[in-house]
Structure formats: C-alpha cells, structure tokens
Structure 1
Amino acid sequence: MTLRAVLAFPGDLDTPTGGYAYDRRMLAELKALGLDIAPLPLGAGFPLTSPEAVGRALDRLAATAAGTVLLVDGLALGALPAHRLAALGRPLVGLVHHPLALETGLDLETRALLEASERAALACCQAVVVTAPSTARLLAADYGVAPAAVTLALPGTAAAPRAPGDGDPVRLLAIGSVIPRKGYDVLLDALARLGDLPFSLTVVGALDLDPATAAAVGAQAARLPEGRVRFVGALAPAQVEAAYQAADVFVHPSFYEGYGMVLAEALKRGLPVICTTGGAAGETVPDGAGLKVPPGEAPALAAALRQVIADRALRRRLSDVAFAAGAALPGWADGARAIAATLARVGGRAS
C-alpha cells in the first residue's frame, strides 16, 4: 500500500511567520523525499474561530481518501473537538510548534479552554511532531503525551554568509510578527532606558496580524528620538537577508518561542544574540553566543543591551561563538526524514 498523507493547516500557507515557514519548507522537503503528501487548507480564524469554521475544517479532513495520514498543524488541531477527530477514522499526527494556551495576551478562561481542547486532541494522535526538545518535555509533563509518541524535527537552516558586524553606531535587528507574544513593547521600554547610547533598531515582521499591537508599539517607538527605530513590515527573502547582513546584534524579546527559527538564522550569520529564556529560545541560543534574560523584564533587557552595545570586544566574542554554533545546526532534510519515518510508521500501523 502506498503511503498517502496531507499536511493540514489553518489560514494561508504563505503567511510570513516562522510556523508557516516551517510548514512550507517541510512540505517541500517531504515531497523531495518521494512522499505522496499534499497541502490541505482548513480555513482561517484558528484557533479562536467559530463552530461553523471548525465544522468546515473537519469536513475537509473527512473528505480525504481512506487511509490518508493526517499531519495537522497544532494551530488548528488543538481547536478541533476530540470526538470528531476520533470519528474521522484516519491515522492522525499532530504538529506542535508550541501549545496554544501559551500565546501571550489570553485571558484565563480562554487559556484554560485551549489547554483542555489541545490535551484532548493530542490524545487522539498516534504520534506528535515537535520542533524543539522543550516542547516535547512540556507535552509529556502537562498534556499527557507519552515521550515514545513524540518525534523531534528541528527546523533547518540554509547556508548563509557571516554578517560583517562592523556598524557604528551599533545596528540592532529584530525579526518577528508584531503580535503580543513577541514582546516588542518590552524591547521599546528597554531601549528608552538607553538614551545616552548610539544605536538603531530595525524590526522586520508582519504588521497586519494584530493591528492593535502594531499601533501601540508604533506609538511607543515614536516617543524615542527620530530615526532610532524602524518597523519595516514583512520583507521578501532577499530583503531579509540584506537586513541580517546589515545588522551588528540580533535581539529577540519574545515571551515564548516553540523554537525560534530567526534565532537559528542569526546564529548562522554569526550575529551576537540578546534574547529571553521564554520557551525554547534559551536552548536554541547556546551559552556564549549571546546574553539571555527573563521574558518581560525590561530592566534586565536594557542592561544586556547596554553591555553589548557599549563593548565591541564582547560583540566579537559572542559573534565567534554564534557563528560556530550556527555551523553545527541541522539542515531541513534532517527534520523531514524524521517526519517521513513517523508518517510511514503511523500509516503502516493503520493499514
């Protein structure tokens, strides 16, 4: 029997976020390995969507051919009712970038609902793919997922030239959609404490995913001296590469990361990193490649920024460690092979 699979995802696969970039690349890599896998859009609005949208998504999953392995992105999976997932009669594999309940800005009731829904949905899965070891530990501890059911498939990084890192004043770069979880309000609070230092900050990332947050941080940035901070929106890949090459320090103030693909990309280019320890970020960036602070703490972030901006020799030491760490990062094919083996195992068991 030939294995047939779909990668089911909510929204638009071309959305410029790390999670969607992972899905796009893994879909391509799995096809390159010879797997019969197709994209399956489930509709917009997840995870906090209407019952009608949930019903349409389940109908699309049910319309797949019998025996098709369903690899379902967790952004949708965790919002789908467990009893309906079980009734599909298809081999089911979850793809968890990070648990839904850990998104920043949720009220306690919504957080509890998402946690319960995702735990039930994961119990319906024959296997779960995660993008970081910390997520595997979290699912085992808090979501009842057996460690033996988990496949680790790290994001890959492509070859890239080392950034010169020779700017004066120091050029800071942040990459990530402007949403509450990314912590740009904390970053701007930290930068406001550094008025005596010369620097600039460029923020690359979608501005339309949470317009209220984008407006708030835009107003916050406007209170800093003119020219210090630029929010440039989502950019094409060549423009993103140019931004990396023009940077001296990469800063990532996120409250939580399932992996932090941009952190790995910064390491690949030898950029010193200042990041939080939220989620997997503290593991993605090895000690010695950057400075790490607790999420949400502007004074600690300001202190780390001050140290790196003011000390060129420190930046060079961090850069050397970052570049060596980046050279050791896995490629995309490594993760794709792990996912392919899991899909084959689950599909074979089902048949």
Structure 2
Amino acid sequence: MSLPRNGGIIPMSLRSVHFVMPGAVDDPSAPSGGNAYDRRLCLDLPGFGWQVHRHPVPGAWPRPDTGARTELARTLRELPDGAAVLLDGLVACGVPDIVVPEAERLRMAVLVHLPLGDETGLDPAVATELDARERAVLRAVPAVVATSDWAARRLVAHHGLAPERVHAAAPGADIAPLAPGTDGVSRLLCVAAVTPRKGQHRLVEALASVADLPWSCALVGSLGQDPGYVARLRDLIRDHGLRDRLELAGPRTGAALDAHFADADLMVLTSYAETYGMVVTEALARGIPVLATDVGGLPEAVGRAPDGGMPGILVPPDDPAAIAAGLRRWFGEADERRRLKAAARGRRAALGGWASTAQGLAAVLRGLSTEPRRAA
C-alpha cells in the first residue's frame, strides 16, 4: 500500500498512534466537519511518520449507553502500556471515569472539535455536567488539540489548562475548481447539519424578510440529529410560504455535494457556535464568498485575502435582521459583490492544506513520547 507523500518524501519507518473516534466516522448519512477532520488525519499522518490504528467506537457520544462505555473501556484497556493515543473529544470528554484512569498508563492527546457544553439546545444542567466531565478529562491528559487559535485560547481560559499543552491545528482545505455559480447572485447555499446550534431557523426568518429579493436556497446537511428541530424548521418554512424557494436537501457527500457547491453564488452559515467552520473554507476553496455569523472561530475560517480583502460578510449572532441586512447588501451592491468575489479568489489561493494540519498533529504526537505523563 502506498503512503501519502510529504513533499515527495516517504518516511522509512513509522511510529504508531491509536486513534479512538466515533463509530459513525465513516457514515455518509451523518457527515460532519469533525468526522471529515478525523478521516483526513488518518490519511495524512503517515506522511509525517505516524501509522494510524483506527478504533471507531459506536455509541451515542458524548452520553453513551452501557454497551458503548464497555466497548470504550475495553478498547483502552487492550492498548499496550505507553502507547500514543489520540482521542476524539466527542468520545473522550464525556466519560472521565473511563479515560482518566488510563491517562497514567497511556500517552494521550484529546482532539476537541467542539466543547461539549457549547452544543446549542442542551438543558442547562446537562451542559454544566458535560462541561465538568470535559474539564476532568482535559486536565488529566498531557496534550489537547483544538481546531483554531480561538478554540485553543478558550479551552485554556475556560478549563484552566496550561497554555503550552493546548495546541491549535486548523482544518486544511483542498483547492477545488472555481464554482461557476448560477447567475452570480441568487443561489444561496448552507451546508450544516440541521440542528439548533447551526441556527437554520434564523436563516429562514431572515430569508422571509427579504422575500422580495430573487433568491433561492439549499440547506444541505443531516436531518436525523434533531428530528424535532427539523419538524419545527419545516413548519417555519411552510408558514412563511418559502417551500418553493428553500430546499431541505438532506446530507450530501462526494459528487452530489460538489454539485451544490458548483451552483452556489453565496455560502451562508448562521451558527450559534463554531470552533472553526470547515464548510467556510470548502466554499472559499471554490472562490465562493461567505455570509456568516461572527462567532467563535468563524472569523479565522473566513480570514482575509493576501491583499487584505475580506472574502465574506460577518454579522452579529442571534440577529435575523442583521442576516437580512447582509443579504440585502449582497443583492443590492454590485461593486460589493465584485469585491467579495475577488477577495474569495485571493483567499482561495492562500488557504492552507491538510498537510499543515497533519504536520501540526504529528508534532503534538512526538511530544507525547518525550513528555512525562502528567496533567495538562
């Protein structure tokens, strides 16, 4: 089997890392940025000297049933003493009673895609409990990996972690062909699981208030994570009379997702919380400008073109009127559209690749083999 290349150099020998991840990491019906990130690390880490042993653990993480807990405990217990272990935070951070006792025996790093308590719509008591569990896990392991500089700073401040043990490894982006779009203006695309955290209801409210504009919109993403929210969103779309203009497309991957990107004139993401926002850079990798909420790591993902131009419009969170104003700005100002498109193409050329992400993770893993096994 050929190994991914790093600048044309293939390492002669590989160290081993055991990657513990959600069981649904390869499920095409539940695509997510976290799953895509995990899969890409498995492909690219060998190019930086690390053979990856995958350990997908089925379960309703981060609140697993007894069977899932037992399987995770067995997986960790069977790893050899001193093994380097990378754990997806969705699996690890909710079960400190399983993970923390193994932290003295194994050399662990936890990859935090989203702090557990930041999931929108959680009962406050549940969020508080998950937050405390996550803190216990992250304080017990020698290394923590976040997916943006913003997320790393927040983990340090929120959980009281030593800054030198928290590392940022932003997702990479694969440069894709420039999206031809539909007519350069009217086709809007939102790629996100349909859940309260992604805030599609705010987008629907904003679109209803600009119904006089000639837009159409596709909402691409899983419909199975929160059926109640999806049902309420369908009702909202119906009540505003938008069913002919707003498509709930469901999850799409591969060529089907590429086709949605190819048709898009503007990417729209109205999340309440994001540690980065991979779909933003996936859009920019095709030269598609972005309208997004100014939350978490999204400004990092939007970034700037080399000439300083901003390839998107950032709006305040939880404000459908601000989203609507951003849309009117997009539709009403041709010069602004030209500027945003030029900046998006400039940002496209400057995006970092996944090799940089894997290189950063490889450096963290190398540190595990030399640092004492003590709390972060």
Classify the TM-score, shorter chain.
over 0.9
Task: State the TM-score, normalized to the length of structure 1.
Answer: 0.94
Following TM superposition, the consecutive aligned residue runs of length 4 or more in structure 1 with deviations greater than 6 angstroms are none
* 1:292 and 2:314 correspond: yes
Shift of 1:240: 1.2
Q: What's the Cα RMSD here?
A: 1.9
Q: 3-state DSSP class of the match of 1:208?
A: coil
Q: Which residue of the other structure, out of 156, 159, 165, is the alignment partner of 2:175?
A: 159
- What residue in structure 2 maps to residue 319 of structure 1? 341
* 1:93 and 2:83 correspond: no
Q: How does 1:42-57 map to 2 (within 5 A)?
A: 42-57=57-72
Shift of 1:50: 3.0
Instruction: Supply the distance in 2 between the matched residues of 1:34 and 1:219 (Cα, whole angstroms).
Output: 51
- What residue in structure 2 maps to residue 263 of structure 1? 280
Asked if 2 retains the 8 angstrom alpha-carbon contact of 1:167 and 1:247, the reply is no
Q: Which residue of the other structure, out of 42, 46, 53, is the alignment partner of 1:38?
A: 53
Instruction: Supply the distance in 1 between the matched residues of 2:250 and 2:98 (Cα, whole angstroms).
Output: 40
More displaced, 117-126 or 265-274? 265-274
Amino acid paired to 1:195: A
* 1:183 and 2:199 correspond: yes
More displaced, 252-261 or 142-151? 142-151
Q: Deviations over 1:89-132 (max 9, x none)?
A: 10110101121101100111111111111011001111111110
Q: Which residue of the other structure, out of 333, 336, 339, is the alignment partner of 2:361?
A: 339
Instruction: Supply the distance in 1 between the matched residues of 2:73 and 2:351 (Cα, whole angstroms).
Output: 37
- What residue in structure 1 maps to residue 6 of structure 2? none
Asked if 1 retains the 8 angstrom alpha-carbon contact of 2:73 and 2:98, the reply is no
Instruction: Supply the distance in 2 between the matched residues of 1:2 and 1:33 (Cα, whole angstroms).
Output: 8
- What residue in structure 1 maps to residue 74 of structure 2? 59
- What residue in structure 2 maps to residue 136 of structure 1? 152
Shift of 1:323: 1.6
Shift of 1:334: 0.9
- What residue in structure 2 maps to residue 247 of structure 1? 264
Give percent identity, aligned residues only.
Answer: 37
* 1:329 and 2:351 correspond: yes
* 1:202 and 2:218 correspond: yes
Q: 3-state DSSP class of the match of 1:9?
A: strand
Task: State the TM-score, normalized to the length of structure 2.
Answer: 0.88
Distance 1:108 1:326, change over 3 A: same
User: What stretches of structure 2 of length at least 5 have no aligned partner?
Assistant: 1-12, 305-309
Asked if 2 retains the 8 angstrom alpha-carbon contact of 1:16 and 1:205, the reply is yes
Asked if 1 retains the 8 angstrom alpha-carbon contact of 2:14 and 2:50, the reply is no
Q: 3-state DSSP class of the match of 1:140?
A: helix
The number of residue pairs the alignment matches comes to: 351
Q: Which residue of the other structure, out of 90, 98, 102, is the alignment partner of 1:75?
A: 90
Q: Deviations over 1:146-197 (max 9, x none)?
A: 1111222111111212223451760100101111110001100111101211
Asked if 1 retains the 8 angstrom alpha-carbon contact of 2:179 and 2:262, the reply is yes
- What residue in structure 2 maps to residue 309 of structure 1? 331
Instruction: Supply the distance in 1 between the matched residues of 2:331 and 2:42 (Cα, whole angstroms).
Output: 40
Amino acid paired to 1:265: E
Instruction: Supply the distance in 1 between the matched residues of 2:347 and 2:185 (Cα, whole angstroms).
Output: 26
Asked if 2 retains the 8 angstrom alpha-carbon contact of 1:270 and 1:322, the reply is yes
Instruction: Supply the distance in 2 between the matched residues of 1:259 and 1:84 (Cα, whole angstroms).
Output: 26
Distance 1:105 1:68, change over 3 A: same
- What residue in structure 1 maps to residue 5 of structure 2? none
Asked if 1 retains the 8 angstrom alpha-carbon contact of 2:21 and 2:56, the reply is yes
User: What stretches of structure 1 of length at least 5 have no aligned partner?
Assistant: none
- What residue in structure 2 maps to residue 227 of structure 1? 244
Amino acid paired to 1:272: P
Shift of 1:83: 6.9
Q: 3-state DSSP class of the match of 1:322?
A: helix
Asked if 2 retains the 8 angstrom alpha-carbon contact of 1:6 and 1:40, the reply is yes
More displaced, 89-98 or 287-296? 287-296
- What residue in structure 1 maps to residue 3 of structure 2? none
Shift of 1:79: 0.5
Shift of 1:82: 5.0
Q: Which residue of the other structure, out of 10, 17, 33, is the alignment partner of 2:22?
A: 10
Asked if 1 retains the 8 angstrom alpha-carbon contact of 2:185 and 2:266, the reply is no
Amino acid paired to 1:240: L
Shift of 1:77: 1.4
- What residue in structure 1 maps to residue 227 of structure 2? 211
Shift of 1:75: 0.6
